[in-house]
Chains A and B, each alone.
Chain A
């Protein structure tokens, strides 16, 4: 609205345009459901052996480079998270947290695992169910994205969006929490496109592939996949790191949704319609 200072007569007009197709909206929300349950059941599974290794094998006697554990300290226990040789006290959240009012050794706290109590068998049942759900949903989305031109049209950055000047400008704008308005808001900005593509084409497939590599049955079918990740224990570690990156993405994604017009964003992902202000003068001049 401030951009039209030189035309006194021109008034910006609010319009709604159809931004998200039904397929995108549906698969998006199903994905939210799947990833939430996958994360919580995944942390339950992790709690059964809260250490990460690199290579083909790894168990208690072997060197782990990340561990979340507890140790006795007088008549209380302390939680400690170790990354390499750095140990961080994490009592209350990681390593030791409250279960029924009592500090208990537990890698991830009960409020983020499913079920809340220690139960590996149930954690696995939920994890594999939602893993299948996630994979099927993902295939539907990929197929739609290719056939309907969603990737080409909405996700692949155009040439002008990839120039160093433009990218530098976008980074600066994001840092100031300023987002494109008007006609420019019709398309995703370049950082948005690049991060969505990284999640869709790198992180999520990596989750599935490293997950499958942990399966001894699947390893006999596609043995080379184990080598791609440098061993089953490396695959487990990459699975964990990639999940952490996805959590980081979701945090940033949610912050961006909040600061760039939360109701408009939510409406567009529910009804499909995104509101933006257009220059009425330009509209009629066309």
Chain B
């Protein structure tokens, strides 16, 4: 019997083969034990970067000449809540940053209180997980100073940032944006709570009145519209339990790469 590979047969054959391969790949992608193995790479990345960052190097700082002409605003650009609208109307005079959880003295700080503290200005590159970068100038109070003021209770390991925006409208509120970093990053000199961008008050699209800058990690760690900082010893019980809005949706908690 002669087997003739016609064009039609070839096309049908190769599309069946391609579909088989694709379903095979997607089956691997959705397999939880495969995912567990793949996720081990995150610990390897974080471990090796932390090892090589033992001398606490700074992220590159640029000059005014390097600023992006337009700094792309990403994620939420206007929180959709009445509370936020009210705060914005009052020019954030009534806004307070709450610092609580595993601290000795819980704090409630106004924007004026934060601005009265020593500040740091840095021109840094913002790297989005999607692949783009923008350079901006940020002024704010080092997070370490605020945490020292509150006094960290023994056992605290992470700072969790609760934001005013709900990035994904959900009935149970689990679309609320939040982020977290550990104390190594929290006390890094370039980790600041920023209230000013490119020499002006932080715009709403960029997280007014206060956003976190955690240089050396990707953009989604830089929580905007920060309302409260809670010191915790674990993420258990905080929304999805992975330490952040995007982390709960599959992204790495350590976003140094």
Residues on B with C-beta less than 8 A from A236 are 131
The interface stretch among B98-106, B121-129, B175-183 is B121-129
Which range holds the interface residue count of chain A? Answer: 35 or more
Chain A min CB distance to B251 (Å): 5
Do A214 and B251 contact each other (CB < 8 Å), given the known contacts A116-B25, A220-B60, A221-B49? Answer: no
Do A57 and B250 contact each other (CB < 8 Å), given the known contacts A45-B131, A128-B42, A216-B217? Answer: no
Do A216 and B130 contact each other (CB < 8 Å), given the known contacts A117-B26, A232-B125? Answer: no
Contact between chains at A56 and B18 (CB < 8 Å): no
Residues on B with C-beta less than 8 A from A214 are 127, 131, 257
Contact between chains at A60 and B132 (CB < 8 Å): yes
* Contacts of A104-122 to chain B: CB distance below 8 A: 110-111, 114-117, 119-122
Interface 0/1 of A192-235, CB less than 8 Å to B: 00000000000000000000001111111101001000001100
Contact between chains at A217 and B49 (CB < 8 Å): yes
The interface stretch among B1-9, B51-59, B89-97, B163-171 is B51-59
With contacts A59-B128, A62-B70, A217-B256 known, what are 8 further pairs, Cβ within 8 A?
Answer: A125-B35, A125-B41, A217-B257, A220-B57, A220-B58, A223-B60, A232-B133, A233-B132
The 27 listed contacts between A and B (C-beta, < 8 Å) are A48-B131, A49-B131, A51-B132, A56-B62, A56-B66, A56-B133, A57-B125, A57-B135, A59-B68, A61-B68, A61-B70, A62-B70, A115-B29, A121-B250, A124-B251, A129-B40, A214-B127, A216-B215, A216-B218, A216-B256, A217-B216, A217-B256, A217-B257, A220-B53, A221-B52, A223-B57, A232-B133
Chain B contact residues, CB within 8 Å of chain A:
18, 22, 25-26, 29-30, 35, 37-42, 44-45, 49, 52-53, 57-60, 62, 66, 68-72, 125, 127-135, 215-218, 246, 249-252, 256-257
